[in-house]
Structures are given as C-alpha cells and as structure tokens.
Amino acid sequence: MIEGQSPTDRLNEQVGATSLLRATRFLPRWLALRAMAKNHPAWRVQRETVGYAVSPTIVHWFDQFVFSEADRAYWPVDRTSKIVNWRNIRVGIDSAPGFMPNCYIQGIGLIDIGDYVWIAPGVHIISANHDIHDHRQHSPTKVTIGRHSWLGGGAKVMPGVELGPFTIVAAGAVVTRSFPEGYQILAGVPAKPVRRIEREQCVDYSREHRYHGYIPVEDFPEFSRLALHSELLDC
C-alpha cells in the first residue's frame, strides 16, 4: 500500500477491486462473475471459509465492490445492512457485523469487535448519541464486544458499552451499560444478566483459515495501520 492513499483506495487495493473489474457492473451478473479470475482473493476467501460463521460468497464481494448494492467495508456486508464509517470499526477473525440482513452498525465513535463474534440479523451497534442540546452534534463513546460473544436477533448495543468474552445477548435485548466480566447471558430492556456461563466449559476455538473479513490475518496489522483509526491499533 502507498502512503497518502485514502482509506477507500487502500481497501480497494487490498481486496482486489480493480477498475477493470468495477467496469463489469455494466454486464449481466452471471457474465461479470465469469470474467473474474479464479485466483482472485475473493474466490480464495470463499473457498477457505466454507462452513464458518462468516462465509462470504463471491456475490457478497461483487455487491460491495462492483455493483455497490451493499456498503463497502473490509468485511462482507449484506445488501440490506448499513455500515457507517468502516475505518472506525475493527472486526476480529470470523466476525462480520452486517453480514446478516438488516443490521445497522454506526461507527461514528470507535467499535472494536473481537474474534469469532456471532452477530444475528437485525442487530444494531451504536457508538454515538445525538447531543441533547444540539441534535446536529454527536457524542461518540467506544463500543467493545469481547471474543466468542453472540448478539441475538434484533439486539441493540448502545454507546459506551463494553461486553466481555463469551457474552450472549438475547434476541431483542437493549444493552445500555457495560458487562466487561463476560461469561453471562443478558436479556431484557434494558439488558440484565439472567444466567452465568461456566467459564471452564467455554471452547476458545480457532479457525484453520483466519481472516479479518476479506483481509488475511498476516496482512491485517499493516492494513489497520494504513486504513483504520489510530486508536484501534492497540486493541
């Protein structure tokens, strides 16, 4: 990557979104897919992540970087989900907020999502509230989701929340305060602990092929340094 490039240019370079491939948006989708070389990075990610929680297809990649029917981010995003300011969002290995439909991930503030976090459809992660005295302004506060957590369908995580590892947020819950200790199930509005999870029974697994979205784990430190917010580098 070249110093001075914009974050979007760096993203395009990293995921192989060339001008020639973007020109295929004028072709029928099936023909555009055939025009893409089988050794393209997006094909490799699809082959190596089959069966993972986040298993992006080549159609995800085309929707984001060719047809622009989904938000461009360095991880796969469903065309019905909305990502705000991807460079303020760090996603861990096999994690992808917005991979499932109808999610809203608002990166006005910083968001740090750990490895192997499962995020169901309709989840909202909000990192900034409107100022109560001037609604044009935002008050950002960082959101952190610990590794191996699971956000159920329609769950909402509000600004300033920190969730520790192996936290399960029940469907429809609204998390308004932090639970950094992890290893528990949260439910309700506002969300409260309803059950502890036995730490010794939790499986801290790792995948054979490890990607931060479309970015191989070995390339992610350099990509982060050039494209993500500087305060996310030490996460």
Residues 50-70 have a mean pLDDT of: 92
How many separate domains does the chain show?
A: 2
pLDDT at 2 over 60: no
Residues 133 and 88 in one domain: yes
231 lies in some domain: no
Residues 33 and 93 in one domain: no
Residues 136 and 186 in one domain: yes
Residues 94 and 23 in one domain: no
20 lies in some domain: yes
Residue where one domain finishes, among candidates 48, 69, 90 = 69
Residue where one domain finishes, among candidates 69, 93, 128 = 69
For residue 1, what pLDDT band results from cuts at 50, 70 and 90? Answer: very low
- The set of residues, in sequence order, having a beta carbon less than 8 Å from that of 101 and lying 6+ positions away, is 78, 80, 81, 121, 122
214 lies in some domain: no
Residues 126 and 88 in one domain: yes
Residues 118 and 166 in one domain: yes
Residues 39 and 130 in one domain: no
Residues 103-113 have a mean pLDDT of: 97
pLDDT recorded at residue 183: 98
Consecutive H or E run containing 30: helix 29-34
The rounded mean pLDDT for the chain is 93
Buried b / exposed e along 163-202 (16+ C-beta atoms within 10 A): bbbbbbbbeebbbeeebeebbbbbbeeebeeeeeeeeeee
> pLDDT tens digits, residue range 123-163?
999 999 998 899 999 999 999 999 999 999 999 999 999 99
pTM over 0.85: yes
- The set of residues, in sequence order, having a beta carbon less than 8 Å from that of 54 and lying 6+ positions away, is 75, 76, 94, 95, 96, 99, 213
What share of the chain in percent tops pLDDT 70? 97
pLDDT recorded at residue 9: 85
112 lies in some domain: yes
Residues 42 and 87 in one domain: no
Residues 12 and 34 in one domain: yes
Residues 47 and 25 in one domain: yes
Nearest Cα residue to 72 out of 88, 58, 61: 61
Instruction: Examine residue 190 and say whether the peptide bond preceding it is cis (omega within 30 degrees of 0).
Output: yes
Residues 209-219 have a mean pLDDT of: 96
Structural domain span for residue 14:
1-69
Residues 197-226 have a mean pLDDT of: 95
Residues 95 and 183 in one domain: yes
Residues 205-230 have a mean pLDDT of: 94
161 lies in some domain: yes
CATH number at residue 103: 2.160.10.10
Residues 42 and 103 in one domain: no
pLDDT recorded at residue 4: 59
Residues 100-105 have a mean pLDDT of: 98
> pLDDT tens digits, residue range 13-49?
889 888 888 888 888 888 888 888 888 999 999 999 9
